[in-house]
Amino acid sequence: DAGVTQSPTHLIKTRGQHVTLRCSPISGHKSVSWYQQVLGQGPQFIFQYYEKEERGRGNFPDRFSARQFPNYSSELNVNALLLGDSALYLCASSHSGTGLGEQYFGPGTRLTVT
C-alpha cells in the first residue's frame, strides 16, 4: 500500500507569492494534519482536518489556510510568502481524528522562499 504522498517535492518561490502544497493520505485514513519543520527544529503543528472539517489550528498567521476534499486529500495554501516561510512542510495522516491513533508522515515538500 502507498504511504502518505506529497507534491511537489521541492518548490522555490519569491517573497509575496502564493503557494499550494498537496497531500494524499494513506488509503482509509480520514484525518490529515500539516506541520512546518524549520531546519534544525522539530515539526510545528499548523492544521488538522478530519472528515473535511478543521479540527485544530496551530499558532500560524491567517496567511496559512488549508482544506480537505471528499477523497480526504488536502491542500495547504500560504499567501504573501515571507523568507521565514522557508521550511519542510509535512503532512501526516491518521485513521483517527482524536489523537489516539498512529500518525504517518509523508516525505514533505521543501519550500524555499527567495
Query: Contacting other proteins (CB under 8 A), which of 19, 87, 90, 111?
Result: 90
Contact set for other proteins, span 27-56 (CB under 8 A): 31, 33, 35, 40-45, 48, 50, 55-56
State the minimum distance, in angstroms, from the CB of residue 58 to other proteins: 7
State the minimum distance, in angstroms, from the CB of residue 15 to other proteins: 25
DSSP-based three-state secondary structure for 85 = helix
**Taking the alpha carbons of 40, 41, 46, 48 in that order, is the dihedral positive or negative?**
positive
In 3D space, the residue among 5, 10, 62 whose CA is nearest the CA of residue 29 turns out to be 5
